[in-house]
Amino acid sequence: MSTGRVAPPLSVEELLRVSAKLDVRFHVLRGDAVVTSKERAFRELFRILEESGTRYALIGGLAVQLWGEEARTTLDIDVAVGGYDEIPGPALEAAGFRRLQRHEHSENWMGPDDTPVQFSQDPAFASLIEHAVPRDLEGGRVRVAPAIELVHSKLRAARDPARRPSKRLRDLADVQALIEREPDLERQLSQAEKALLHLPI
């Protein structure tokens, strides 16, 4: 019988262990010749960002998992940064990361074990970065976007008419999962955001 209590969010270490197992299963089920995990890239990336003093916040699927209770496979590591010029390129390259290409709102890299890393620069992320929550990681740390900021950013993305329907549905599902875990988040939504989720206004 449920006690109504919310379990504490996954620790970073627990997330990495579960996510690594999901990565392996994903590649095995697809029949990929090379089976990789993003765990090493994750540890190296945030070690470098912390040591360099970069202003950043972990966003995307991994950030949602760190605030939630259900791990799932996600292919890349998404990071919001204050500006592309703040990305510590030489340190990343020395650690085995490769810069690929820059788009209007993202700069794509490939990390160790062929792990995609996407840096996003958007003025809308300023508050998200400023209020990022530090989480311990084996002597280091990773700064994670606050749950409410993740909700706002995912709902902004879901309203983008250019976004693929499958990604829009994933955004809405992530938001719904966060709200189910932390019902207080719903009270911080605007009427337009509630309407997008078909919540009472």
What are the structural domains, with CATH classification, of the chain? 12-145 (3.30.460.40), 146-201 (no CATH)
Q: What is the pLDDT along the chain (201 residues), one digit of tens a residue?
A: 444 555 556 688 777 777 777 777 777 777 776 666 788 899 999 999 999 999 999 999 889 888 877 666 677 899 999 999 999 999 999 999 999 999 878 999 999 888 899 999 999 999 999 999 999 887 789 999 999 999 999 999 999 888 899 989 999 999 999 999 899 999 999 999 999 998 876
Is 23 exposed, middle or buried (CB count within 10 Å of its CB: 0-12, 13-18, 19+)? buried
Burial 94-127 (b: 16+ CB within 10 A, else e): ebebeeeeeeeeebebbbbeebbbbbbbeeebeb
Confidence (pLDDT) at 2: 42
Q: Give pLDDT, residue 198.
A: 85
For residue 111, the SS3 value is strand
Residue 130, both tokens: 């400023």
C-beta separation of 72 from 64 below 8 A: no
What 3-state class would DSSP assign to 86?
Answer: helix
User: What is the C-alpha separation between 197 and 12, in angstroms, rounded?
Assistant: 29
- Cβ(194)–Cβ(159) under 8 Å? no
> Which of 127, 48, 115, 33 has its CA nearest to residue 88?
48
* Radius of gyration of the chain, Cα coordinates, nearest whole angstrom: 17
Within 10 A of 72 (CB to CB), how many other CB atoms are there? 16
pLDDT for 11 = 80
What's the rounded Cα separation, in Å, for the pair 98 and 141? 23
Task: Look at residue 200 in the predicted model and tell me its pLDDT.
Answer: 79
Q: Residue 32, Cα to own-chain centre: how many angstroms?
A: 24
